A = this chain, B = another copy of it.
């Protein structure tokens, strides 16, 4: 059985935004990637058992008008959604509650290594001390405003740097583990 671990894998601007002032994500596509390299995503997917995302991220993914992109079980956090699209039955489950309750429910289903996605969800899980690893890819643009990856905390949280790689000469990806 895998170690219980919650991982954030996300891209930010140099000034720490994950979406621009209009909620847009086009800036993520600004760096030419002719060979369609994946920058650690396949590695992440080979490690995690399931994914947690907030409602807004869920709706963003649905808005892409692509086939549902996740092969692992996805848990969508929402207090308002009551049913899931028929096409996604068996692929997603709705959950609500505190981050601790949510993680406990998912562990009960024997999913231990979890990919945590979505700005609000990441911030809630950080506050609850439930993020074990950060894998952050920084793109070389100052957006000057938008939705921040990180929010306020009562107390600082220390991490240890694990590794840093540069992709496509432009994107700096650093992995950090929470110090315990």
Contact of A152 among B16, B140, B145, B156 (CB under 8 A): B145
- Interchain nearest-CB distance for A16 vs B (Å): 4
Please determine whether A150 and B142 come into contact, CB atoms closer than 8 angstroms: yes
Instruction: Answer whether residue A172 sits at the interface, using C-beta atoms and an 8 A cutoff.
Output: yes
Q: CA separation between A136 and B15, bound complex, in Å?
A: 11
Within 8 A of B (CB), among A31-59: none
Most buried by B among A145, A150, A166: A150
- For A129-172 the 0/1 string (1 means CB < 8 A from B) is 00000101010111111000111111111111100101001111
Decide: A174 and B176 in contact? CB cutoff 8 A. Answer: no
Residues of B close to A92: CB separation below 8 A: none
The residue from B140, B149, B153 contacting A145, defined by CB atoms under 8 A apart: B153
Q: Quick check: B172 and A156 within 8 Å, CB to CB? A: no
Contact B166 A143 (CB under 8 A): no
A161 touches B150 (CB 8 A): no
Binary flags per residue of A112-143, CB closer than 8 Å to B gives 1, else 0: 00000000000000100000001010101111
Most buried by B among A154, A170, A171, A174: A174
Contacts of A13 in B (CB 8 A): 156
- How close is A102's CB to chain B, nearest CB, in angstroms? 21
Write out the residue numbers on chain B whose beta carbons fall within 8 Å of the beta carbon of A16.
15-16, 150
User: In the complex, what's the smallest C-beta–C-beta distance from A165 to chain B, in angstroms?
Assistant: 9
Complex: A172 Cα to B144 Cα, angstroms: 22
Name which of A144, A154, A176 has the most chain B CB atoms within 10 A of its CB: A144
User: Can you list 25 residue pairs at the A/B interface with Cβ under 8 Å?
Assistant: A14-B134, A14-B136, A14-B150, A14-B159, A15-B16, A15-B150, A16-B16, A20-B156, A27-B156, A30-B158, A126-B142, A142-B153, A142-B156, A142-B159, A143-B153, A143-B156, A144-B150, A144-B152, A144-B154, A144-B156, A145-B153, A161-B166, A161-B171, A164-B172, A172-B172
